[in-house]
Structure 1
């Protein structure tokens, strides 16, 4: 039996965590095509990889619609939504199954699939918790999923439980941890720091995520203010209209006197080498995470981890076996964790090396791209055989 023809749908043209997963998943489907709502790095990279990619003519107008948008914002976009749905239906013509890679993509794909009677797989990269979404939005998403989706893929048990608690049908959920395929850089930590223009001496703590309030960069700045021996390195940018938060971070840098100890690198593609140059990677999310690619990448890099105990972090780190968990949104708890880790690095380096080696082995086995793609291929094959009830 030939592989199914899959149409992958993404609302974002930028490349963040969900889109990085998509770039790995799509490699498992040689006849795949892609439909992207807006131009950007994602459609460019898909095209470069040989994937036939359509960029919507009017989808970029939806960039003003956000999770917390009111009807006053949404209603004027109705015409654009209608036009985008028609474009998507045209792109679906020859596919066997549609694969929606985000909430916005799923909402329109669900409507189009119901009209065209196409099987739909939703890869839900969010965690449908009250911390992130209002009651009405959670109910709308889960009811639409129950109606239109053959399968809802989630990256963790935490995300699955949140989806079911919001009203989603449990039997349609497939838990497939995200896979990460990154090769470590052969250079030494000292060489990496020098080559990348980082401070060659001192204890460096790296934070790797987009600039967003719930990603917790402000918590790290507060912790740095309480620990003068540590320099923070922040990789990431404000992607989804969160420039006000980025400006707030710069005000905090000045307020805390961190001009020489808070380095903002912007968006970077050389994530693993940067992580290898760090003494610790911090994952400071203040709200539950559906997964946390940063955690797995740091494990592959062999760099010690500190992560807020929210969402999937405890799953990935096996309740602290492969890294230290600290209370979310708690600068004092982070200061304590940083101090303890720095002491361990100085006094018990062999013990720390043993933990990071075990973490790397876990990342290579549990969170491999091959394992993820095998599971997703099974879900997609099953979806092609299903008919909507």
Structure 2
């Protein structure tokens, strides 16, 4: 199978690695993979070291004539079975480039719930573009959301969780003594940005109910997380000095490794948060909400806890439970880690994508067969 991947690999290494390593795994299984991306992306060197072809092309806008011409040149030069495009800039350019190449199947990637609507004209440049043959969604909740919007071929929308490797997340825990945190303290971490949908305000409200736990500390990391509203909520907590606004950090894995529990309090719009997976890989239990794909990987009461959205009391109850049951918390974390190692592996993700690609190609062969008399 010959596959063209059209994506950006300019983000942080940890962010792009699950997708990048999946395609490296596909190449290692004997398939030809060409990556179309920015030539100065850090991952380019690894792609080439692993035998993948890299084309230095990336669109400057949603419809970039030079990019479309470059893609069409490549599609004319070599037959590709699959073109896989991943974002709002690569998908429209890939879609227009693939017109006139019916044997090539265009697959798009969708990672969030919401924001895709039939009444929105811009949606027809991405996942609703008539040239799109299949959509790979990061979680089943995302698949359900997308299926409500597409007009046909709903069976070609699949949910495939991104694969991971435990070795990626093994790191030294951060030294938190500068925050007056000791080894005896219980550490909660939440990594998010300032968007209301991330539910940080709900977590801060939960901290108000922890009145008998003076050594519980909350680390809040993320760009813009220290809004005036969040700061005000923090001051209303029983122990406001135990809430630490850290802002944007480049050492999130080290901070995560120092934590006892990770909390993802989102109220809407999630796909499959990377921070939940990072915590699971580090054997740290999570408290997550029912939004997005959280409940698809966190088993309530086994590898963490799943609570309803906007329920600060439930979050406080689960924090309290893990605080008072250290051994069970550690057992949950180990079970979460085992889930990543066995079920959410890179090889499993690669196999699932290949099966999806082959199904799309089989449909193409069937549809082109002449009827027999």
| TM score, norm. by length of structure 2 | 0.77
Match of residue 303 from structure 1:
284
Alpha-carbon displacement from aligned partner over 1:197-220 (angstroms, at most 9, x marks no partner):
663342211123555442333433
Alpha-carbon displacement from aligned partner over 1:259-289 (angstroms, at most 9, x marks no partner):
7631426343662x53331010011222142
Deviation of 1:34 after TM superposition, in Å, equals: 1.9
Match of residue 286 from structure 1:
267
Alignment pair present for 1:173 and 2:157: yes
Cα RMSD for the two superposed structures: 3.6
Structure 2 counterpart of 1:256, from 234, 239, 244: 234
What is the rounded CA distance, in whole Å, between the counterparts of 1:94 and 1:261 in structure 2?
57
Structure 1 counterpart of 2:216, from 230, 249, 271: 230
Alpha-carbon displacement from aligned partner over 1:302-344 (angstroms, at most 9, x marks no partner):
1121001112112212345321122223434323332232223
Task: Give the direction of change, closer, same or farther, for the CA distance of 1:55–1:232 in structure 2 (3 Å limit).
Answer: farther
Match of residue 156 from structure 1:
139
The residue correspondences of 1:334-353 to structure 2 (distance < 5 A) are 334-345=315-326, 349=327, 351-353=328-330
Alignment pair present for 1:357 and 2:334: yes
| TM score, norm. by length of structure 1 | 0.74
Q: Which runs of 5+ in 1 are unaligned?
A: 63-76, 238-245
Structure 2 counterpart of 1:21, from 7, 18, 22: 18
Q: Which runs of 5+ in 2 are unaligned?
A: 368-373
Structure 2 counterpart of 1:10, from 7, 10, 15: 7
Deviation of 1:373 after TM superposition, in Å, equals: 0.8
Matched positions, count = 346
In structure 2, the residue corresponding to 1:136 is in which secondary structure?
A: coil
Alpha-carbon displacement from aligned partner over 1:328-364 (angstroms, at most 9, x marks no partner):
234343233322322233xxx2x33332222222222
Task: Give the direction of change, closer, same or farther, for the CA distance of 1:278–1:178 in structure 2 (3 Å limit).
Answer: same
Match of residue 266 from structure 1:
248
Alignment pair present for 1:112 and 2:113: no
Match of residue 71 from structure 1:
none
In structure 2, the residue corresponding to 1:286 is in which secondary structure?
A: coil
Query: Which structure has the highest helix share of the two?
Result: 1
The residue correspondences of 1:81-92 to structure 2 (distance < 5 A) are 81-92=64-75
The residue correspondences of 1:1-150 to structure 2 (distance < 5 A) are 4-11=1-8, 13-15=10-12, 19-30=16-27, 31-36=32-37, 43-50=41-48, 51-56=52-57, 59=60, 62=61, 81-92=64-75, 93-94=77-78, 96=80, 97-117=82-102, 118-127=104-113, 129=114, 132-137=115-120, 140-141=123-124, 145=128, 147-150=130-133
What is the rounded CA distance, in whole Å, between the counterparts of 2:131 and 2:339 in structure 1?
35
User: Which stretch has the larger CA shift, 207-216 or 299-308?
Assistant: 207-216
What is the rounded CA distance, in whole Å, between the counterparts of 2:251 and 2:54 in structure 1?
22
What is the rounded CA distance, in whole Å, between the counterparts of 2:87 and 2:23 in structure 1?
15
